[in-house]
Amino acid sequence: MAKLTLTPNIDLPDDFYAELIEAHDGLTKTESDALNARLVLIFANHIGDRAVLAEAIRVAKEAG
């Protein structure tokens, strides 16, 4: 079973953040929320491992 990676693991994280922010530029709140939802589903599909996804949900809820 794969483990959830919680340590920094994104190449050029500042560039990724800038791309993410740019993708939301000009969107309404509703459109931005929909983009985020689509991204979550795309990333979840890429991960694919239900145990990892369940752990990510748990960690995100605890962080809030």
Residue 18 resides in a domain? no
- For residue 1, name the pLDDT band (cuts at 50, 70, 90): low
pLDDT, one tens digit per residue, over 48-57 is: 999 999 999 9
pLDDT, one tens digit per residue, over 10-49 is: 999 999 999 999 999 999 999 999 999 999 999 999 999 9
Q: According to the model, what pLDDT value does residue 5 have? A: 94
- For residue 64, name the pLDDT band (cuts at 50, 70, 90): confident
Residue ranges making up the domain that contains 33: 27-63
Residue 37 resides in a domain? yes
- Exposure string over 36-46, b if 16+ CB within 10 A, otherwise e: eeeeeeeeeee
The number of distinct structural domains making up the chain is 1
CA distance 64 to 61: 5
Supply the pTM of this predicted model. Answer: 0.86
Question: With contact defined as beta carbons under 8 Å apart, do 49 and 1 qualify?
Answer: yes
